[in-house]
């Protein structure tokens, strides 16, 4: 199994970057991971936010590996608990999916086009998080799901 995580812009907060690196190392014991940091557009200049969001959406969609199962993170998506996420990942693997691409938009979120292209829209919470914090939360939950499937004691 391989996970591909597509992010817009670098993680600026050092403590979040350290957490992401920690869970990347932990998770890589269970699956292959490819992180793609894509150029983030800056809103607030001469271009309206909607145009920037649309351009970022096109960039994300253009960088997905063909044949990947596409999971978009969005507050309006389906909420799963950790065990349900583990079961869902396992089901995709049992269905023969070998690559899952996780998309996290920039600070403006994802476009309706990206959400429509997704095979699954996942919400980590009804609360709002920064897109950088969402990266760390996703890594931790993916690691937790893999440890649930492996039967380790991390989840307890």
Residue in the structure block whose two tokens are 């309706």 = 112
pLDDT tens digits for range 28-70: 999 999 999 998 876 666 788 889 899 999 999 999 999 999 9
Region of 35 (left: φ > 0; alpha: ψ -120 to 50; beta: rest) is beta
* This prediction's pTM: 0.94
Q: What is the pLDDT of residue 44?
A: 64
**Going from the N-terminus, what domains does the chain have, and what CATH number goes with each?**
2-150 (3.40.1280.10)
């Amino acid at each position: 199994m391989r996970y591909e995580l597509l992010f817009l812009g670098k993680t600026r907060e050092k403590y979040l970057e350290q957490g992401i690196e920690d869970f990347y190392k932990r998770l890589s014991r269970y699956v292959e991971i490819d992180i793609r940091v894509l150029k983030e557009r800056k809103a607030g200049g001469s271009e309206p936010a909607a145009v920037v969001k649309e351009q970022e959406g096109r960039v994300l969609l253009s960088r997905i590996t063909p044949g990947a199962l596409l999971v978009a993170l969005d507050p309006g998506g389906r909420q799963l608990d950790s065990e349900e996420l583990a079961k869902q990942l396992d089901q995709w693997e049992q269905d023969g999916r070998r690559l899952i691409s996780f998309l996290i938009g920039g600070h403006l979120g994802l476009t309706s086009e990206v959400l429509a292209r997704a095979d699954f829209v996942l919400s980590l919470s009804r609360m709002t998080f920064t897109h950088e914090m969402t990266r760390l939360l996703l890594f931790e939950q993916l690691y937790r799901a893999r440890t649930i499937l492996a039967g380790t004691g991390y989840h307890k």
